[in-house]
Structure 1
Amino acid sequence: MSAILPPPRRIWWKEPVDKVEIIWIVIAFVWCMIMFFMMPYWHVYGKQNLSPETYKVRPELFARASQEMVDKYTVRTETELKIPVVAPPAGSDVYLIARLWDWWPILELEKDKTYRLHLTAMDYQHGFSLQPENINIQVLPGYQHVITIQPNRSGTYAIVCNEFCGIGHHKMVSKLYVK
């Protein structure tokens, strides 16, 4: 038989299935079933799931709460723009604002302490991406997203906007310190 000529029998579905093919089909089916049942399990019992807490909020009220936190817990300022660095106590509500083209303020959190992080956008849709932890949240104007976080490693983390938000999008980065 050659590749140019068609096979002698043209009804391929009546051909017997080889043993190796059956083995691979069984392996693929078993793996699909394992993944099918693991997805709901990971969703319910996995510790990697973020809180689905989201509320409607008026931007001026969120800005006021953020400013109160900054006035109360500022420890220093950074960058040429004098962005405040706040170190709130453990267990407190922490506010982070996304606006063209920065994150405000810079947060300094304690290792192994729990915080409630409130996020909102003041103008357009932004994306909160905490690297290298790979936490991604879509931040929308008019909504506050609340995430309960407990940093477990010290260091400096990068906060990056991962939703295109205009001409200065590439400069929308900030830091999060964990001490």
Structure 2
Amino acid sequence: MAVTPPEQRIWWNEPIERVELVWIVIAFLWGLFMFGFMIAWHFIGQQNLSKEAYRTTPSAYEAKVDDFAKKFQVREEKGIPVVKPKPGADVYLLGRLWQWWPILELEKGVSYRIHLSSLDWQHGFSLQPTNINIQVHPGYEHIISLTPTESGEFGIICNEFCGIGHHTMTGKIYVTEQKRAEAEPRLAEGR
């Protein structure tokens, strides 16, 4: 029940107050501005990652990740392989109930193509504390380009509810400084 009921029972035939009409026009124009600027923010603000996506099967993707982990494993951490690929290599990471696997060790300042997929449900790949968030779907291989700019330990969390163990679904990426000998070409070579 309204405080002051309309004079007529058919309220939509009532005239619109001037102030209300002004706010409707402002909201409509703001909505148009925001809609149009979404495209500009992609380029100007670098808000969204440019990514590729390809169809795959969970079993085929799992085989790729297993091969990748066996080839580049450097150690284990709580039973999970820590994988250090060659600088600039394609890197494979999979989400499954309830972990991101394997742990990655990347080099600062080197660009990598990160391949992501899920074996079971939709998961969220959220790299903390950076602002990278991607929905990862089973049956699709998502590829993003990533160049770490800081060294340290970065956490991966799932930000799409994926079941009872969702709150435990985490992973890690270590970013290390390039070794000086690897970063600078040897002076003795080429003489």
The alignment covers a number of residue pairs equal to: 165
Percent identical residues: 56
Q: Which TM-score applies when normalising by structure 1?
A: 0.77
Asked if 1:51 is matched to 2:50, the reply is yes
Q: Indicate which of 57, 71, 83 corresponds to 1:86.
A: 83
Q: Which TM-score applies when normalising by structure 2?
A: 0.73
SS in 2 for 1:62: helix
Partner of 1:123: 120
**Which structure 2 residues correspond to residues 12-23 of structure 1 after superposition, within 5 A?**
none
Partner of 2:156: 159
Partner of 1:140: 137
Q: Can you give the 5+ residue segments of structure 1 that lack an aligned partner in the other structure? A: 1-12, 18-26
Change (3 A) 1:111 1:48: farther
For 2:93, give the aligned amino acid. L
SS in 1 for 2:148: coil
**Which structure 2 residues correspond to residues 29-48 of structure 1 after superposition, within 5 A?**
38-48=37-47
For 1:155, give the aligned amino acid. G
CA contact (8 A) 2:115 2:141 kept: yes
Q: Write the distance in 2 (CA, Å) between the matches of 1:156 and 1:89.
A: 19
For 1:46-72, what per-residue CA distance to the aligned partner results, in whole angstroms no more than 9, with x for missing partners? 434212311110112111111111111
SS in 2 for 1:145: strand
Between 1:38-47 and 1:58-67, the stretch displaced more is 38-47
Q: Can you give the 5+ residue segments of structure 2 that lack an aligned partner in the other structure? A: 1-14, 19-25, 177-191
RMSD: 2.8
Partner of 1:4: none
Q: Write the distance in 2 (CA, Å) between the matches of 1:137 and 1:125.
A: 10
For 2:58, give the aligned amino acid. P
Q: Write the distance in 1 (CA, Å) between the matches of 2:90 and 2:43.
A: 25
Change (3 A) 1:161 1:29: closer
CA contact (8 A) 2:73 2:81 kept: yes
